[in-house]
Amino acid sequence: MTGLRIGQGYDVHAWQAGDHVTLGGVRIAHTQAVRAHSDGDVLLHALCDALLGAAALGDIGMHFPDTDAQWRGADSRAFVRHIRELLGAQGFAIVNVDATVLAEAPRLGKHRQTMREYIAADLQLALDRVSVKATTSEGLGFIGRREGLACHAIALLEKE
């Protein structure tokens, strides 16, 4: 057996009235905002679940419950940094992460590099170990109807 562990994460949020969305730690001007307890960063939330899942340490809701007022409006980058420290304390090194945002809008192309840089910094990874992609749902389902957005993420850990 090797010390490699893989985890996957998924997050979804509905749109509501607002003027921006936060994705990968980047505040992006938009015609709507997400309904969420924290900053609603679906990319970082999915990434947190992937990292926690790979180490069998539960999920984001266990560590940062939306019933706890201290997390209201919280910056999800703090969640990522906390989980990196938790993984390190458990003897895990993060090998790489990959995420795909599913949304009809906003377009993420010009923000992708900054997202990668923030995630790499927060996880203390080389930039070439962080991948962020985006796609639409071609007008299908709740994403296509512009009711919300989602993200899938995957993480590879190695037990040191």
Q: What is the pLDDT of residues 51-86, one digit of tens each?
A: 999 999 999 988 887 887 777 778 899 999 999 999
Number of domains comprising the chain: 1
93: amino acid identity, one letter: A
What's the N-to-C CA distance of the chain in angstroms? 13
Give the model's confidence band at 144: pLDDT under 50 very low, under 70 low, under 90 confident, else very high. Answer: very high
The arithmetic mean of pLDDT across residues 119-133, rounded, is 98
The boundaries of the domain holding residue 61 are 4-159
- Other CB atoms closer than 10 Å to residue 37's CB: what's the count? 16
**CATH code: domain of residue 105:** 3.30.1330.50
Task: Say yes or no to pLDDT of 1 above 70.
Answer: no
Res 2 pLDDT > 90: no
CA distance 12 to 18: 17
Instruction: State the DSSP H helix or E strand holding residue 152, giving kind and residue range, or none if neither.
Output: strand 148-159
